[in-house]
Amino acid sequence: MKEIYTQEIANDQPGVYHIPGVHNGQQTLCGWVDASGSTEHRASDHPCNCSPCIDAYRKIKALTFPSGYFAKG
């Protein structure tokens, strides 16, 4: 199984563990773009405790799309 990581931005938010971002150049799901002082941690040891990341994840997970919404490449 693939290892899951969280991200800590130690120089601005020490002890807050974020979900890594995957789009728009965001470093974290809650919107950090310039996270130059960030460190990856195993999520099993340091679970996400960032409320905005958790809220964004829940909203994304709840999205539904009608059949045919995405064009086939």
Burial of 24 (0-12, 13-18, 19+ CB in 10 A): exposed
pLDDT over 80 at 69, yes or no: yes
> What pLDDT score was predicted for residue 63?
96
> What pLDDT score was predicted for residue 27?
86
> What pLDDT score was predicted for residue 41?
94
The C-alpha atoms of residue 6 and residue 59 are separated, in whole angstroms, by 19
Give residue-wise pLDDT tens across range 6-65. 999 888 889 999 999 877 778 899 988 876 678 899 999 999 999 999 999 999 999 999
The C-alpha atoms of residue 45 and residue 70 are separated, in whole angstroms, by 36
> What pLDDT score was predicted for residue 32?
84
Q: How many CB atoms lie within 10 A of CB 31?
A: 13
The model carries a pTM of: 0.81
